[in-house]
Structure 1
C-alpha cells in the first residue's frame, strides 16, 4: 500500500483565500455548470451540450475531451466527475453519452462539497437546436438575464422522478439568487410540460412585450430554442444524512425584545413605564422631601428675623 504524501498547507494569505473560496459555505456562491462528454456521443447530444453551454455561457465550463472512466450511477464511476468538479469549482454537472442501450443519454447532477449529491438520467428525443429557429434576433435573450419557469402538468407533483427532474432543471438554469429583480431583465422563459409520467417536453422561449392599453403590457412567447423531449430513465436521491447536511440554513441571531438598531443613532432601547395614577398616591408629612423643605423654610425665617433685628437696634 502506497503512503500518502504530506498535506500541503497554504503559506500565503492569497492561497488561504483561494482555498476558502472552494470550501463549502452556509451561503453558497453562484453555481457553475460543468459540461462533459462521454466515451461516445451522437451529433444530437453534441448539439444539446453546445446549446446548454450557450444558455449558461457566463456560468459554465465545457470540456470537449472524451472521458472513458465516468460512470455516474456505478460505484467508483463518479470519481472523475468529482475530480473535475473540484478542479473547475462547479457544483452542477451535465454529462452526455450515447450507446445502443441508452441512446442520446443525458445525466444531470449536483454536488455538495465536490461529492456527488444526486443524479437524474434522461433520454433526449425530438430535439430542435437553437440554430433551427428563425426569429427576430433582437428578441434573443441577453447574457446574464433571469428566466421564468413554467411547469405544466400534475405529474410534477405526483411522480417522484419528475419532481426530482423539476428540482434539477430549476437548479441548472435559474442563475444566481438575487434579492431584487428588474423585470426588464427577465426576457425569457423555460416551459416544461409533463406529457406522461416519464416524459417532459421542454422548450425555451423569448418574451415579447406588446401594448395592451393598460399599464401592464401584453406578453407573447416566441420560441427561440432549444426544445426537446426528456424521457426519464434513472434518478438517485441524496442520502438522508447528506441531505440534512446540505440543507443546513445559516443561523439567525436571537431577537432581543424592545431593542432596535438605527442606522444613525445606533442601538435604541424601549422601556415600559406603567400609568401613574396620581389620585391614588398617599401623601404624608413624613416624606423626606417635605422635611427638607421645612428646614429650608425655618432657616429662611430665622435669617429674616436676624436681618430685622440688625435694622432696628434697641
Structure 2
C-alpha cells in the first residue's frame, strides 16, 4: 500500500509567503541554527547555548523548554522534525549527566536529513561567556573572519570535515559578492592541539587605529565566548551522500568560454584562430622603391623605365 503525502496548501497570504521562502532555491539562504536543551542541563551549558544563539543571531532560534527522551546518536528523527518545523539546517543540543557531563552536540542537515554530527565535552573551568568580557561587542548579523590553526585540520579526514562543518556553521550570509572591511568587526579563531586534540574557540573584536599610513593598524581584543572543547564522538555522512550534497545545479555553474584563460594575476588571455594568409597579397607601405614595375597609360610596362629601376 502506497502512503500518499499530504500537500500543504496555504490559506493566507502570510502562509503563502512562508511556504515560498522554504522552497528550494538556486542560491540558498544563510543557514539557521536551532538551539535545544535536553532533560538535564546545568547553568554552564545553558549559558553556552545562549552564547551560540547570540553568535548566530539573527539566523538562530532557541527553544526554552526541556526536551525529554532525545538521544541524538541513537535517533535524530525528533530533532530533524524540529528543524523542519523551524526551517533550520543546523542544531545545537546540550545536556549533562554523570556519564557525559557538559555535553554539546552540533550537527548540520541536508534536505532535513542529518549530514554530519559532532559531540563535544566543554571544559567548564576555562569557559567564559560573553557577559564576562566587559568591552565593546559587534553588531548582530555581521559576517565574521574565520581563522584555523593546527595541522590536524589539513591532514586527518575527520578534522577536515570538522573544519568544513565549522566554516558552514559560523560563516553567516552566503550570497555576498563584496565585503566592506570597515564592517568586518569580529574574528573567530579555531585552534586544535595535535597532542591533546583540544579545540579552542576564541572571538575577537577588530579595532582599526591610526598608523600614519593609508593602511590602519589592527588590534584584536577578546570579547568572548572563551570555549575549550574536546571531541567525544562523531557521526559523519557517507561519501556518496556527502558528494550528493556538493552537487550544484547547472543554472548557477559558470559556462566555460572557449579560448579564454586567466593567469595567476587575474588577467584574461585570449586566443584567436585565423585562416592561413597569403603573404604575396599582403599590403605593405607604399614606396616608389618597393614597386615591382611602372605601368604606362595603356597598361603596358615601359622597358626603359624598368631598366632605370633595375
Partner Cα separation in structure 2 for residue 182 and residue 155 of structure 1: 32
Q: How far off is 1:17 after superposition? A: 6.2
In 2, distance between residues paired with 1:244 and 1:199? 29
Q: Is the CA contact (8 Å cut-off) linking 2:57 and 2:141 kept in structure 1?
A: no
Shift of 1:4: 5.4
The 3 A distance-change label for structure 1 pair 179 and 102 is same
* Kept after mapping to 2: 8 A contact 1:119/1:236: yes
Where is the helix percentage greater, Structure 1 or Structure 2? 1
CA deviation digits over 1:18-75, x for unaligned, max 9? 445324445322111111111111111000011111112211010111111322111x
1:246 is displaced (CA, Å) by 0.7
Q: CA 1:13–1:102 in structure 2 vs 1: closer, same or farther (change >3 Å)?
A: same
Larger radius of gyration: 1
Structure 1: gaps of 5 or more residues? 260-269, 281-314
Q: Which moved more, 1:19-28 or 1:48-57?
A: 19-28
The 5 Å alignment of 1:1-314 reads 7-8=6-7, 10=9, 18-74=18-74, 77-125=75-123, 126-135=126-135, 137=136, 140-177=137-174, 178-195=176-193, 196-251=195-250, 252=253, 254-255=255-256, 275=277, 279=281
| 1:193 Cα deviation from its structure 2 partner | 1.6
- Separation of aligned partners in 2, 1:67 and 1:131: 26
CA distance, structure 2, for counterparts of residue 244 and residue 155 of structure 1: 22
Measured after TM superposition, the shift of residue 278 of structure 1 is 6.9
Rate the CA distance shift 1:13–1:43 in 2: closer, same or farther, 3 A.
Answer: closer
Q: What TM-score results when the alignment is normalised by the length of structure 2?
A: 0.76
**What is the distance in 1 between the residues matched to 2:214 and 2:34?**
42
Q: How many residues align?
A: 264
Query: Quick check: 1:258–1:271 contact (8 Å CA) kept in 2?
Result: no
* Contact 2:39 2:68 (8 Å CA) reproduced: yes
Instruction: Give, in angstroms, the shift of residue 7 of structure 1.
Output: 2.1
**RMSD, aligned α-carbons:** 2.9
Unpaired segments ≥5 residues, structure 2 = 261-271, 283-310
